[in-house]
């Protein structure tokens, strides 16, 4: 899936930055979530990931490096800048991407178990 | 030859289900069309959002702020993925509608329909034992501050055990969504046809009524002729059809007058584990004691979706997420005076709401979030996060919160959502007081509610639907 290959480097760098993992589980979660999304959403997320990896460091930090190649403190600064950016196209793209990336990291069963939270809900009926 | 029904209803949300049931129970042959499918209980809230929320939950308004607008695209519409909270239409709104009309809309009569909806939905106060930790802490904080009025909310449910998943398809089937309350007894009965996965493609007026063209799953077309068509596609979609097929003399006004009832929430961290994901997330509420345009209601997002809703990033986000079992949250909603409009550059599937938040609404939102922060600190919170995308948004004491300088905050800095889009085919503006657009075509959903109600609107929408059902059946209004 093209969008997964575009988002994966960003997700891996994001997860490493926050000390989250493991990577195989994250990759599996990414594929699962992308498969659930309509094609236009997948395309948008892939494009947003490209922009976040390549253009955001240049325009928001003045650094000609990809997101994953930035040192830890600059990655943190870039994430904060993206979170705080008031421009709506940037916010919309960032929130879409955040829903996927943070969902994969913090919605992964491994992370949730540490909170003593389990995804499995007993299925008792078709609502 | 097209199939013949007495009535066709498009959309199975609060209005669509209720009007279809009323018409069928009144002896009519009814076709109910729903673009989505029947919901299944899913273990992962994120998957439920992807499957059952319109546009995968990514629909949002643009303007001077970004406002995601989650609505349902599933049997039962938004009622399948809402909190089930029921608040009656404010009496003053009903009186206003009566006074501004030509005498057809009567407040007293409408209240009878509110009562009927209330009964059918088995509305009752959320039992105390199902209250979430956030609700208990909020009520506790109010008590410590000496603020009266905090209460458990009334909800449409039967047998709720506080699974905490109302917005992601109730796992116990306890929440009475529109399909449960109105359609369950109808399905499979002769004269009632539920067409799932089917979308409306065309509407044509004919001498004998209305001819509609539908697209079924797999792309097959279906033509139906009926005495009357009811559009109940929701405030974001119905205006498309009104404009596209020039339904009524005021079709050009459809899509304008959008109110959103903007909402935001405050997170608070406590010393003890709370497991905030258990209990009814929207179990308690309060009308602001000083400004009735601000309403506070419980909210709690399950952990698999929580990171998205926190206005933090990087290591600060991780810090909070690792402590999410100790987090509580509560929301504020603003009865907005701002109005937006809808555009459809890519058709009905992609409404583009445009909404600029007025300064006065923005000020109310700031006031609401500061109030919630105060209440949480009074309840014993050790840290609070306001829904601002930039500092100052995190506070560790009530004094720090009171000294916060928010003078540079703008609407674009707020992290908000809008759960109650209304008004885009307003009664008396686009539709008449019987909700008629033109001969044989009616609209009934949140779009006809011509002002921001300041309360969760589902009971109002149900009441409009029951009233329209009686009108179409030729019954006299009570």
Q: Is residue A123 part of a domain?
A: no
A60 touches chain B (CB under 8 A): no
Q: Does residue B252 belong to any structural domain of this protein?
A: yes
Summarised one tens digit per residue, pLDDT across range A63-82 is 999 999 999 999 999 999 99
Asked if the structure places residue B63 within a domain, the reply is: no
Closest alpha carbon to A89 in B412, B46, B236: B412
Least CB-CB distance to A127: which of B60, B173, B390?
Answer: B173
Looking at the DSSP assignment, which residues form a beta bridge with residue B256?
Answer: B341
Would you give the DSSP letter of residue B476? P
Q: Which residues of B touch A86 (CB under 8 A)?
A: 389, 410, 412-413
Residue B408 exposed, middle or buried by CB count within 10 Å (0-12, 13-18, 19+) = exposed
- Tokens 């890519």 appear where? B346
Residues B147 and B92 in one domain: no
Nearest-10 Cα torsion for A39, A43, A46, A47: -170
B288 backbone dihedrals φ, ψ, rounded to 5°: -50, 125
Query: What pLDDT, on the 0 to 100 scale, is given for residue A120?
Result: 56
Based on the structure, what is the number of domains in chain B? 2
Q: Which residues in chain B have their CB less than 8 angstroms from residue A96's CB?
A: 58
φ and ψ at residue A55, rounded to 5 degrees:
-90, -35
Q: Do B314 and A102 touch (CB under 8 A)?
A: no
pLDDT at residue A126 greater than cutoff 60: no
Report the alpha-carbon distance of residue B364 to residue A92 in Å, rounded. Answer: 24
- Percent over 70 (pLDDT), chain B: 100
Element (H, E) at B365: helix B359-378
Question: Does the residue B58 lie in any domain?
Answer: no
Q: Look at residue A52 and tell me if it is in a domain.
A: yes
The secondary element (H helix, E strand) that includes residue A27 is: helix A23-36
- Please tell me the predicted confidence (pLDDT) of residue A119: 64
In the three-class reduction of DSSP (H, G, I as helix; E, B as strand; rest coil), residue B274 is classed as coil
Cβ separation B41–A126 shorter than 8 A: yes
Distance CA A101, CA A46 (A): 12
What residues contact residue B411 under an 8 Å CB cut-off, 6+ apart? Answer: B64, B65, B356, B357, B362
Burial of residue B173, with CB atoms counted within 10 A of its CB: 0-12 exposed, 13-18 middle, 19 or more buried: middle
Minimum CA–CA partner of A115 in chain B: B325
The pLDDT, as a whole number, for residue B208 is 86
Question: Chain B residues with CB inside 8 Å of A113's CB?
Answer: none
Cβ within 8 Å of B, A 18-57:
18-20, 33, 36-38, 41
Same domain, B428 and B460: yes
Domain boundary among B392, B418, B444: B418
Is the predicted pLDDT of residue B342 greater than 70, yes or no? yes
Q: B209: phi > 0 → left, psi -120 to 50 → alpha, else beta; which?
A: left
Q: Render pLDDT for B282-301 as a digit per residue (tens, 0 to 9).
A: 999 999 999 999 999 999 99
A–B CB contacts, 8 A cutoff, strictly below: 138
Do B214 and B311 belong together in one domain? no
How far is residue B348's CA from residue B26's CA, in Å, rounded to a whole number? 31
A62 CB within 8 Å of a chain B CB: no
Q: Evaluate if residue A124 carries a pLDDT over 80.
A: no
pLDDT of residue B347: 81
Q: Write the pLDDT tens digit of every residue in B145-163.
A: 999 999 999 999 999 999 9
Tally the domains of chain A.
1
Do A36 and B303 count as a contact with CB atoms less than 8 A apart?
no
Q: What is the mean pLDDT of residues B257-283?
A: 97
Q: What is the 3-state secondary structure (H, E, C) of A54-116?
A: HHHHHHHHCCCCCHHHCCHHHHHHHHHHHHHCCCHHHHHHHHHHHHHHHHHHHCCHHHHHHCC
Is B56's CB within 8 Å of A36's CB?
yes
Q: Is the pLDDT of residue A121 over 60?
A: no
User: Whole-number mean pLDDT of chain B?
Assistant: 96
Per DSSP, the three-state class of B228 is strand
CB contact under 8 A, B43 and A121: yes
Mean pLDDT for B263-273 is 97
- Is A68 part of any domain? yes
Domain that holds residue A29: 2-114
Residues B240, B194 share a domain: yes
Assigned domain for B66 exists: no
Q: Do B39 and A76 touch (CB under 8 A)?
A: no
pLDDT given at position B441: 98
Domain with B400, as residue range(s), is 126-167+260-418
More confident residue, A36 or B324: B324
Residue B96 lies in a domain: yes
Whether B242 and B386 map to the same domain: the answer is: no
B299/B329 same-domain check: yes
CB B30 within 8 A of CB B192: yes
CA distance A29 to chain B (A): 11
User: From the list A37, A86, A98, which residue is nearest B308 (CB)?
Assistant: A98
Structure tokens at B405: 């300088």
**What pLDDT was estimated at residue B48?**
94
Which among B40, B313, B315 has CB closest to A127?
B40
Work out the number of other CB atoms within 10 angstroms of the CB of residue A39: 8
Which phi-psi region, left, alpha or beta, contains residue B335 (left: φ > 0; alpha: ψ -120 to 50)? Answer: beta
Residue B69 included in any domain: no
- Chain A residues touching B37 at Cβ < 8 A: none
B186 pLDDT higher than 80: yes
Residue A29 resides in a domain: yes
- Torsion angle (degrees, nearest 10) of CA B197, B198, B199, B204: -170
CA distance B204 to chain A (A): 31
Cα A81 from chain centre: 15
Write out pLDDT tens, residues B423-456. 999 999 999 999 999 999 999 999 999 999 999 9
Q: pLDDT per residue over B390-421, tens digit each?
A: 999 999 999 999 999 999 999 999 999 999 99
Q: Token pair 């046809």 is at which residue?
A: B193
Has residue B172 been placed in a domain?
no
Range with the lowest mean pLDDT among B49-53, B95-99, B231-235, B474-478? Answer: B474-478
Query: Nearest CA to CA, how far is B8 from chain A (Å)?
Result: 24
Q: Which of A88, A115, A123 to mutate to test the interface with B (most CBs of B within 10 A)?
A: A115
- Residue B229 CA to residue B225 CA, distance in Å, equals 9
Task: Specify whether B163 is located in the same domain as B212.
Answer: no
Measured CA to CA, the distance from residue B76 to residue B81 in angstroms comes to 9
Q: Which CATH number fits the domain that encloses residue B328?
A: 3.30.410
Chain segment A14-54, per-residue pLDDT in tens: 999 998 888 899 999 999 999 988 888 899 999 999 999 99
Cβ of B66 within 8 Å of Cβ of A82? The answer is no
Residues B330 and B190 grouped into a single domain: no
B245 and B359 belong to one structural domain:
no
Residue B281 counted as domain residue = yes
Q: What CATH number should be reported for the domain holding residue B101? A: 3.50.50.60
Q: Is A124 on the interface with B (CB under 8 A)?
A: yes
Residues B25 and B136 in one domain: no
- In this structure, are B188 and B317 located in the same domain? no
Least confident of B56-65, B139-148, B192-201, B350-359: B56-65
């Amino acid at each position: 899936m093209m969008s997964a290959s575009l988002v994966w480097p960003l997700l891996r760098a994001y997860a490493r930055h926050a000390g989250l993992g493991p990577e195989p589980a994250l990759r599996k979660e990414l594929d699962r979530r992308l498969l659930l999304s309509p094609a236009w959403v997948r395309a948008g997320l892939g494009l947003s990931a490209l922009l976040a990896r390549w253009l955001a460091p240049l325009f928001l930090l003045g650094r000609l490096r990809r997101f994953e190649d930035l040192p830890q403190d600059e990655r943190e600064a870039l994430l904060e800048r993206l979170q705080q950016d008031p421009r709506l196209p940037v916010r919309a793209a960032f929130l879409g991407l955040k829903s996927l990336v943070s969902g994969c990291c913090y919605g992964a069963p491994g992370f949730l178990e540490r909170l003593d939270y389990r995804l499995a809900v007993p299925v008792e009926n078709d609502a | 030859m097209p199939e013949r029904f007495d009535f066709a209803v498009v959309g199975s949300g609060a209005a669509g289900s209720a009007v279809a049931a009323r018409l069928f129970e009144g002896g009519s042959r009814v076709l109910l069309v729903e673009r989505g499918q029947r919901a299944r209980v899913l273990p992962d809230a994120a998957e439920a959002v992807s499957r059952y929320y319109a546009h995968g939950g990514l629909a949002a308004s643009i303007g001077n702020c970004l406002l995601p607008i989650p609505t349902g695209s599933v049997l039962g519409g938004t009622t399948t993925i809402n909190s089930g909270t029921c608040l009656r239409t404010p009496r003053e709104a009903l009186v206003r509608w009566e006074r501004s009309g030509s005498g057809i809309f009567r407040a007293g009569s409408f209240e009878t329909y509110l009562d009927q909806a209330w009964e059918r939905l088995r509305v009752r106060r959320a039992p105390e034992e199902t209250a979430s930790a956030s609700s208990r802490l909020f009520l506790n904080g109010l008590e410590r501050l000496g603020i009266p009025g905090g209460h458990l909310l009334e909800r449409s449910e039967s047998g709720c055990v506080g699974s905490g998943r109302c917005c992601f398809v109730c796992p116990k089937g306890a929440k009475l969504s529109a399909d449960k309350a109105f359609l369950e007894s109808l399905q499979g009965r002769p004269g009632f046809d539920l067409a799932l996965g089917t979308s409306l493609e065309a509407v044509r007026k004919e001498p004998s009524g209305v001819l509609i063209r539908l697209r079924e799953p797999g792309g097959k077309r279906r033509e139906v002729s009926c005495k009357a068509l009811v559009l109940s596609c929701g405030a974001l979609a119905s205006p498309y059809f009104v404009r596209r097929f020039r339904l009524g003399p005021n079709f050009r006004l459809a899509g304008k007058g959008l109110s959103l009832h903007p909402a935001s929430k405050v997170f608070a961290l406590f010393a003890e584990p709370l497991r905030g994901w258990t209990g009814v997330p929207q179990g308690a509420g309060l009308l602001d004691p000083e400004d009735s345009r601000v309403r506070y209601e419980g909210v709690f997002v399950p952990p698999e979706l929580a990171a998205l809703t926190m206005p933090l990033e990087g290591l600060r986000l991780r810090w909070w997420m690792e402590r999410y079992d100790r987090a509580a949250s509560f929301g504020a909603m603003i009865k907005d005076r701002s109005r937006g409009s809808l555009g459809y550059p890519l058709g009905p599937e992609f409404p583009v709401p445009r909404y600029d938040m007025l300064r006065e609404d923005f000020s109310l939102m700031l006031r609401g979030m500061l109030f919630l922060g105060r209440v949480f600190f009074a309840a014993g919170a050790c840290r609070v996060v306001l829904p601002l995308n930039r500092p100052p948004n995190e506070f560790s004491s009530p004094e720090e919160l009171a000294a916060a300088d928010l003078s540079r905050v703008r609407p674009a800095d707020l992290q908000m959502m809008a759960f109650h889009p209304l008004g885009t085919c307003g009664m008396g503006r686009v539709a008449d007081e019987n909700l008629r657009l033109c001969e044989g075509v009616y609209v009934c959903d949140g779009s006809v509610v011509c002002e921001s109600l300041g309360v969760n609107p589902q009971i109002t929408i149900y009441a409009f639907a029951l009233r329209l059902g009686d009108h179409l059946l030729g019954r006299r209004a009570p």
